[in-house]
Structure 1
Amino acid sequence: MTYTLVIDEQTTGTVVLPASLPLAGQTMAAFGSLFVPCRIVSSASLTNEAVIAHDVARRLRIPFAAEVHVFLTDEAVHFGPLVGIFTAGFTTSPNRPVGTRSLFFAKLLAQQKQVGGFAFLFGAPHIDWNNGMVNGYFYTERGWERHLVPLPTAVYNRLPNRRIENAQPFHTITETLQTRYGIPVFNGHFFNKADIYRRLSTHPQVKPYLPATAAHITAKTIEQFLHRYAEAYIKPADGSLGRGIYHLAKKSGAYECRFREEHGDVKTLTFPTAMAVWHHLLAAAPLHRCVIQQAIPLLTVRGRPVDFRVHTNKDGQNAWQVSAMAAKIAGKESLTTHIRSGGTVKTLEEIFPDPGERQALISRLCDAALTLSRCLEETLDAFIGEIGFDFGIDRDGNVWMFEANSKPGRSIFHHPKLKEADEQTVRLPLAYAIHLSKTAITAPEALWP
C-alpha cells in the first residue's frame, strides 16, 4: 500500500500517520540512509496520507511530495523507498544527462508514479561518501531535476557495458554500497556465457534446455562438435549484439566457416581440416574468451530461422514472471537474428496465427524462462531482478537456451505492439527494488545471512 506524502508547512518536528499503521514508540523518521529525531503520532482522521512537517522533510532531504511506502522498524518510520539507478556516461546537458539513453531512463524513472517511492539516476561522480549523500537526477513533470538526497535503500545497476563495469572504480562502488552500507545492488554484473552454462549444467531440471557448449576451443574440440552436430557456433563469452560470431559446418568432408565482416557482408571460407579452421580462428578471434556451441536446427518463418527473446523480471512480491516475449527472424543470409544484422521483430500473433499452436509454444517458452530464472538465481551469489533470454525451438518443438543476459537489450520494444510489455519491463525493476528496500530495512538478515 502507498500513502500520499503531504509536507506540512504549518507544523514542525512532527510526523502524523494513519491510525491503521501499528506504531510502537518510534522516535525517528528515515529517508534513505538519513535518520532524523521527531515526534511521531497517529491520527484516526488520516486514511491514505502521511503528513510530515516541513522541517523534518527538509532535514531528511525529501525532494518533493509523492506517493510513498511506509516501513516500520522498532526505532524509525521509513519513507520512500529511495531507489538509485546506477549508470555511467553522463553529459553536461540538462535535458539529456546521459545522451541518447536519457529517453530510456526518463521512461524508467517515470514508473515511480505507478509503484510509489522515489527513483533517481546517478553515477560515480555524484556520490559524496564523506556525508553519505548523492546529487542525483530525478525525472519529474518539469523534466530532469537535480536533488541532493541520502544514499538509497536499493540500487539497480544499469552500467552500459562490460568495459565500464569491470573498471576498478565502478566495481569498488557497488561492493562498498553492499558491504559497508548494506544497500542491495541488483543485476550487478553482465553474464558470461561460459560461466552461465557451467552453473546451469549442474541443474537436472534445466539441462534439457542447454545446447552442448565448451569453453576450451581446440582443433579437436571443433572436430568433435562438427562430427557430432554437423554445425556449431563460436561466440564471444562476453559478447553481445551478435558481434564476433562464427558459424562452422562440415560439408562433404570440408570445413566451412562463415562470419560477418566489419563492413557487414557475410563471408564464407572453406578449409580442408579442423586444424586449418582452428589456425584461422586463432588469428582472427580471441578464442580464449569464446565458447563453441552446438547449432540447433531452428523453426523457420518463410524459410528464415526464428528465435525468441523472453524477458523475465522479479516483481514486488519477489516472484519471477514473464514480462515480454517476441520473435526475431533472421535477415537474408544472416548468421543471427539480431536486428543490426538485418533481423526483424514480430509478435507471436503475427507469425503463429493458430491460437492453439501459439499458446502451446508460449507455454513452453514461459516454463523454460521461469525455470531457468529460478535456477540462475540459486547459483549466482547476487541479487537478480531481470533476465533477457534468447531461446530457439527446434523442428521437434524442443526449447533451447542460447543466451541469458542480465542487462538485456531493448530493440524488440521498437515494435508498436510491444508497448505494454515495454512499460512492464521498466516498471517491474522498480517494484523489485521496493521489495529489496523493505527487506533491507525491516529484515536485513534475510538478504545478508
Structure 2
Amino acid sequence: MNLSLIDEKQHTIYLPARYEHSDLRSISFGARTFPCTIIFSSQLEQEVLMSTSLFHELSIPFCQSVHLFFRDDTVHIGPLIGIFSAGFTGSKLRPIGQRSIFFSKLLSTVKSTGGYAFLFGAHHINWDSGTIRGYFYTNDGWSQADVPFPHVVYDRLPNRQTENHELFTTIKEKLQSQYLIPWYNPGFFNKWDIYQRLQTNEETQSFLPETFKNPSIKHIRSLLEKHQGVFLKPINGSLGKGIFEIIYSPSSESYYCRYHDGEKKVLRKFYQLPILLSHLFQEKKLDDYIVQQRIPLIRFQGRPLDFRVHTNKNEHGKWQLTAVAAKVAGRGSVTTHLNNGGMIKTIEEIFPSPDRCRDIKQQLEQAALLISETIERDVAGFIGEIGFDFGMDDQGRVWIFEANSKPGRSIFKHPKLFEQDMLTRKLSLSYAIHLAEKSIHAPEELYT
C-alpha cells in the first residue's frame, strides 16, 4: 500500500473502499494518535492518500509503502520499527562508525517489506515529548528525523558489556514495561545456559558434545582420555577469542595446545596437563569457561570445516532456514573464524555431488529448526534470528557448537551468498512487522 499526500488543511485520510469501517475515527503512527476524517474511496486500490497537515502532525518522515492495521476506532499506519544500538559517532556519512554499512543495508531493506525503520541510541530519546531523533537511510544517504516511539524495537547492541550497562538496561525496561513496546533479540546467549536447555530436551540431546562448566583438571583429563582432544571456551566469548584446543598424544604421553594470542597462531607441547593449564591461566581458575569434547570434523583440502546456519522468524512468526555456508579453518588455526585465516565456501563448493549437497542441507535444516524452536520455548523474550555453528563428524553426525542471538555476518562476504544475505535482512524486518501487528491486534498474546 503506497502512501501519498494530498494538499488539504483538514486532518483527512483516504482509504480503499474495501477497508470501510463505520467506527474509524482516528489514525496512529507509532505511539502517536490523532483524530481525523476517514474517507473511503472506490477509486483507490493500492494507495492511501493523507492530508499534509495530518502527515506532519503524525511526524511521518516521508512517503513510501506502508501497512494498515485496524483496532477498534483507529487505523494504525506503518509500522514504525526502531533499531536500537550504541557507538554513534556524530558523523553524517558514518553515524555509527564501521557498522554504518551494515545498518544502511538493513534500513534499505524496508523498501521491500513496507513500513518505516530507523536507527537510534540512548541519547536520541526525548522522554518528555515521547519522540526519538532517529537515523533513516534513503536514496540520498543518512538523515535524521523526529518520530514517535516505535511499534517495536529490534535490539542490535554490539556486545555484552554495552548490553549490561545500566543505561541500556533501564531504557529497555522502560520502553517495554511503561510503553508496552515489544523488544526482540534482547541479550546475547550464554553458552552454558543454552547447553543446559538443549540437554534437558530429548530431541536435542544428541546434537550436544560432552561438556562441563568450570572444569577441573579431572574433567579435562577424563575428556582427553575419552576423545583425545578438547576445546576450552569462555562461556560468554565471541569471535573465537580465548579458545584453546588441547590434544593428547598417548604414544608420546604429551599434550599439544593450540591457540591464537591476538597476533599469531601458537602451538606448544607439554608433558603434564597441570603445567599446561597453569601456563594458559596462570593463577586464575577455569571459572567462566567450559570444556568440550573435540569432534573429528570432516575436512576440505585437509582442513577441518564447520557450518554457519542462520534461521529467522518470518512474517508469520514461524522459523525458517535462511542461510547455510561452510567455514574452513585456516592452516594451524584453532577455529574457522575469518580473522584466524578461515575461508567461507558454499555447500556446493565443498560437496560437488548434488545429492550430497541436498542431504547435508536437509540435515542442517532439520537440526537448526528443531533447536531454534527449543531455544525459543525456553528463553525469555522475543527471538527473531539465530546463527548456529554446526559441525559434522566423519560418520555424518551433526553437532552443535554454538548458538548466537546476534550472529556475525562474515559469511555474506561470499559473492554467491548475496541472496541469502538479502533474505536474512528482509526477514529481520518482516518479523518486526509481525510483532507490531500482534501488539495492535492481540497484545495479550505477546505477554502471556
TM-score by length of 2: 0.97
Any idea what SS the aligned residue of 1:365 has?
helix
Letter in 2 for 1:419: F
Corresponding residue for residue 392 of structure 1: 391
Q: Partners in 1 of 2:269 and 2:126 — Cα distance?
A: 55
1:314–1:386 contact (8 Å) kept in structure 2: yes
| Greater Cα shift, 405-414 or 37-46 | 37-46
Choose which of 26, 30, 33 in structure 2 pairs with 1:32: 30
Q: 1:286 to 1:178 in 2, by over 3 A?
A: farther
Any idea what SS the aligned residue of 1:182 has?
coil
| 1:242-284 CA distance string (max 9 Å, x none) | 1111111221233332222232122313132x43344334327
Any idea what SS the aligned residue of 2:40 has?
strand
Gaps of 5+ in 2: none
Corresponding residue for residue 202 of structure 1: 200
Any idea what SS the aligned residue of 1:226 has?
helix
Letter in 1 for 2:298: L
Letter in 1 for 2:105: K
Letter in 2 for 1:265: K
| 1:85-110 CA distance string (max 9 Å, x none) | 10111012111101111111010000
Corresponding residue for residue 287 of structure 2: 288
Corresponding residue for residue 21 of structure 1: 19
1:148 partnered with 2:160: no
- Over aligned residue pairs, what C-alpha RMSD do you find? 1.3
1:239 partnered with 2:256: no
Corresponding residue for residue 354 of structure 1: 353
Letter in 2 for 1:405: N
1:244–1:285 contact (8 Å) kept in structure 2: no
Letter in 2 for 1:333: G
Corresponding residue for residue 342 of structure 2: 343
Corresponding residue for residue 330 of structure 1: 329
Q: Partners in 2 of 1:284 and 1:20 — Cα distance?
A: 72
- Number of residue pairs the alignment of both structures matches: 446
Letter in 2 for 1:222: I
Letter in 2 for 1:229: H
| 1:41-93 CA distance string (max 9 Å, x none) | 21122111111111111111011111000000003110000000101110121
2:258–2:333 contact (8 Å) kept in structure 1: no
List 4+ stretches of structure 1 deviating above 6 A. none
Corresponding residue for residue 270 of structure 2: 270
Corresponding residue for residue 75 of structure 1: 73
Q: 1:212 to 1:333 in 2, by over 3 A?
A: same
2:265–2:332 contact (8 Å) kept in structure 1: no
1:24–1:74 contact (8 Å) kept in structure 2: no
Identity value in percent = 46
Any idea what SS the aligned residue of 1:287 has?
coil
Task: Give the drift of 1:22.
Answer: 4.6
- After TM superposition, the structure 1 = structure 2 runs for residues 31-430 of structure 1, keeping only pairs within 5 Å, are 31-252=29-250, 253-272=253-272, 274-283=273-282, 287-430=286-429
Letter in 1 for 2:297: L
TM-score by length of 1: 0.97
Gaps of 5+ in 1: none
2:110–2:429 contact (8 Å) kept in structure 1: yes
Q: Partners in 1 of 2:285 and 2:112 — Cα distance?
A: 45
Letter in 1 for 2:4: V
Q: 1:397 to 1:24 in 2, by over 3 A?
A: farther
